[in-house]
Structure 1
Amino acid sequence: MSGVTELSYVVYEVSDLADWERFGVELLGMQYGGKTTRGFTLRTDDKAHRWVIEEGAEDDLVASGYSVASAAELDALAGKLRADGVAVTEGDAALAAERKVDRIVITTDPMGNRIELVTGFADAGTPFESERLLGGFVTGTGGAGHQVLLSGGVGREDYLHFYNDLLGFRTSDIIVEEVAPGVFADLIFLHCNPRHHSVALGDMPFPKRNHHFMVEVSDIRDVGLAWDRCLAAHQPFHMTLGMHPNDMMFSFYVETPSGFNVEYGWGGLLIDDATWEVKTLDQLNSWGHLPAGPVAEMLAAGAANSKIGH
């Protein structure tokens, strides 16, 4: 099936560049890519960048870059979008150079998120290096990672038409869980390569367009080390260590300086489309992934009840 092949990069507009550099490099173990006219880039592999950090007031996702296999397929995909009534514009040479791609076509999903369809996403001139990681980040054919976007009242039929029917994603599975009395998280997970999902969309209580971006590491010890670094830096945790029942990711969620989250994980499931069966699950987490506040209270209560040192 033709369409996008990976989530190649994301662009965030942030209000505090210095805090974001500290967060990405010192806490997450990314590599500083280079200074740009509006900010800087972060690397997680041998690509020129995976995250583009731009200064501004949004403190949220402002663009998602998806790769397409060839110029001919990009033309076909752009034509398919236009035929469906979706506005598409060709990016200029300056934007292509900034994004480090051969060509860029811009459109918008039904929630208003900017989508950049690209070919020829460039490698960096030097190998990836991190002073924090024992292993590396898992990218390759799976792309940069995955992101979870809020539907903002747009119907599932509308955004699935865009992502599945037009961009060529396939459904992985669905999770519907009552997270509070009468409050539901209802998410559908989509893939465009063997990574369990490159994007998930749906309704859940959260103030941003972007709930989180997931980065995966190849060495489980790096999850623990990143947890320790974030803990020592007093970086807020959205959810503690845990595991999801659908992609089997062992991870924690840490809050970025912009108020959305990064899921930092290991061991994500890969999909074989020839044998995969779509299922609907009723829980977001197999274990763990608890809110930090209640966990802190439980730890404090346990410390108060401890017989050691009393």
Structure 2
Amino acid sequence: MTRVNELAYVVYEVADLADWERFAVDLLGMQIGERTADSLTLRMDAKAHRWICERGPADDLAASGYAVAGAAALDTLVARLRAAGVTVAEGDAALAAARKVERIAVTADPLGNRIELVVGLADAPAPFASERLLGGFVTGRGGAGHVVLTEQEAERADLLAFYTDLLGFAVSDFIDEEIQPGIVASVVFLHCNERHHSLAFAGMPFPKRIHHFMVEAANMLDVGRAYDRCMDAGQRFEMTLGMHPNDRMFSFYVRTPSGFNVEFGWGGLVIDEATWKVQHFDELSSWGHRPPEVVSALLQA
């Protein structure tokens, strides 16, 4: 089945570009791609960008860019979407140039999240170089990382039909945990390559379209070093160090300047799609990932 191959990039609408530059470069270890008065692009690898920050009031996810294998694959996906009654627009030359891709088509999922299907994301003119990281980020065939979006009022069946039947994702697994009496956090995880998941949908209270974007470090030491940098900078944490039971990511969660989160992790599971079996878990984390106020109270007890 023709499908998307990877999460190539994300676009955020952010109110404070300078704060985002400090956060992404000084704390996370990314590299600036390009900077203008109203935008900032950020690199994680050889590609021209993986994050695009555009000035605006939303402080939320603005678009997700998914790469496909080539022009024929894009044509197939566009035809499949249109046959299902989904509106798809061919992106013009200006948009393709801004995203640094050869070709782009734009649509939206059942939640109204903007989806950009792209061919040929360009490499940057110079190698990636971080002043903060020891080992760089894990991207390659697994794409930029993963994004977890909030389900809001959409039916999960509609979301799964769009992403699996039309874009070619496959379900990795599910987690359902009662996080407070009567409140269940329910998450479905989807993959489109060997990364355990490139996309997930979370049914839980959260005020943004996006709950978090995950960046994966190649060196475990970089998780601890980034954790210390964020702590020393007074950056607000969502969850402290811990590990998930499904993708086995060792990570922490820190708030971005826009109020959603970044998961900074290491050691994510690489799956064999041919033999993968869908599983159900009843806990979001195998250990850790505690709220910072809980950890602070325990340390002071």
Return the TM-score normalized by structure 2. 0.99
**Mapped partners of 2:31, 2:202: distance in 1:** 31
SS of the equivalent of 1:299 reads helix
- Please tell me whether the aligned partners of residues 193 and 273 of structure 2 are also in contact (alpha carbons under 8 angstroms): no
Contact 2:173 2:190 in 1 (8 A): yes
1:181 corresponds to which residue? 181
Match of 1:195 in 2: 195
Whole-Å Cα distance in 1 between the matches of residues 147 and 240 of structure 2?
18
Map of 1:286 onto structure 2: 286
Q: Distance in 1 between matches of 2:115 and 2:274?
A: 28
Match of 2:227 in 1: 227
Q: The residue matched to 1:82 in structure 2 has which SS?
A: helix
CA contact (8 A) 1:8 1:66 kept: yes
What secondary structure, in the 3-state scheme, does the structure 2 residue paired with 1:215 have?
Answer: strand
- Residue 174 (structure 1) shift: 0.3
RMSD of aligned alpha carbons: 0.7
Q: How far off its partner does 1:43 sit?
A: 0.2
> Quick one: distance in 2 between partners of 1:78 and 1:110?
16
Show the counterpart of 1:262. Answer: 262
Offset at residue 37 of structure 1 (A):
5.9
Give, as a single letter, the amino acid of the residue that structure 2 aligns with 1:150.
T
Off by >3 Å, runs of 4+ in structure 1 = none
Residue identity opposite 2:287 in structure 1: W
Gaps of 5+ in 2: none
Distance 1:72 1:198 in 2: 23
2:123 corresponds to 1:120: no
Question: Retained in 1: the 8 A contact 2:44–2:137?
Answer: yes
> Which runs of structure 2 are paired with 1:24-43 in the superposition (5 Å)?
24-36=24-36, 38-43=38-43
> Partner of 1:4: helix, strand, or coil?
coil
Deviations 1:115-140 (A, max 9, x none): 00000110000000000000010000
Counterpart in 1 of 2:109? 109
State the alpha-carbon separation in 1 of the partners of residues 11 and 36 from structure 2: 12
Are the equivalent residues in 1 in contact too, given 2:245–2:285 (CA < 8 A)?
Answer: yes
Deviations 1:72-118 (A, max 9, x none): 11011001000000000011000000000000000000011000000
Shift of 1:144: 0.2
Residue 14 of structure 2 is matched in structure 1 by 14
Percentage of pairs with the same residue: 66
2:170 matches 1:163? no
CA distance in 2, matches of 1:261, 1:58: 15
Pairing 1:300–2:271 present: no
Deviation at 1:215, TM superposition (A): 0.1
Decide which structure has the larger Cα Rg and report it.
Answer: 1
Query: Matched residues in 1 for 2:267 and 2:64: separation?
Result: 24
Q: Distance in 1 between matches of 2:255 and 2:107?
A: 28
Hey, what's the Cα distance between the residues in 2 that align with 1:158 and 1:140?
30
SS at match of 1:275: coil
Q: What's the offset of the Cα at 1:7?
A: 0.1
CA offset digits 1:183-216 (Å, max 9, x no partner)? 0111100000000000001301111110000000
Q: Aligned partner of 2:14: which letter?
A: V
Q: Secondary structure at the match of 1:11?
A: strand
Aligned to 1:67: 67
Offset of residue 300 of structure 1:
1.7
User: 2: CA distance between counterparts of 1:207 and 1:198?
Assistant: 21
Equivalent AA in structure 2 for residue 86 of structure 1: V
> CA offset at residue 36 of structure 1?
3.9
Question: Are 1:30 and 1:43, in contact at CA under 8 Å, matched by a contact in 2?
Answer: yes
Does the 8 Å contact 2:145/2:216 carry over to 1? Answer: yes
Indicate conservation of the 8 Å contact 1:156/1:202, yes or no: no
Aligned residues: 301
Q: Quote how far apart the aligned CAs of 1:298 are.
A: 1.0
SS of the aligned residue for 2:197 comes to coil
